[in-house]
Structure 1
Amino acid sequence: MSLTNTTKFQIGKAGITEGVINSLNLALKTHRFIRINTLASTGRDKKSIIEIAESILSKINYSARYRIIGFTIILTKQKEKPATK
């Protein structure tokens, strides 16, 4: 997994707004990995970062997984499975 060509976002005290979700959906259209830094104003404990990540996954239009490294959430877009006939 190479994160050199990732799109980066920051989430601050405003939290997850509609604008953030729209931007994430646009970025997931063309990128597989997205790096989201959580700023200190969002809460610096593991539980709040997990809640933010799960909230993002429930609101975006793509199937994705998340991974948390420190205060950073890394979203990985899942490949679409071809429909079997």
Structure 2
Amino acid sequence: MSKGNEEVNEQGARETKVVETVDYQSHPGEDREPTKEAVHVVHLTCDNKCDSSVGGGKLASAAASVASTIRSAKDAILGTGKDNPKK
């Protein structure tokens, strides 16, 4: 069972804080019952006027950076990078 309350934060986003939520975790390779832990979950609903750092802006930037790093590593391993004259 979850309960929550809604308020507007400084960025103008509606923020719903969910309390009384439970997370069950079991550790891989261990034959034990899952542990029960109380957690707090915050959901943000952002309007267009919100800062892009809230939401997908930073995540999209991080994903692009990871993709670029993987391409560079692949090029280095295969010898197809920009510094290799054998292209």
TM-score bracket for this pair, using the shorter chain length: under 0.3
Name the TM-score, length of structure 2 as normaliser. 0.24
Find the structure with the greater CA-based Rg: 2
Higher strand residue share: 2
Higher helix share: 1
**Relative contact order, CA 8 A, sep 6+: which one is greater?**
1
Q: TM-score, normalised by structure 1?
A: 0.24
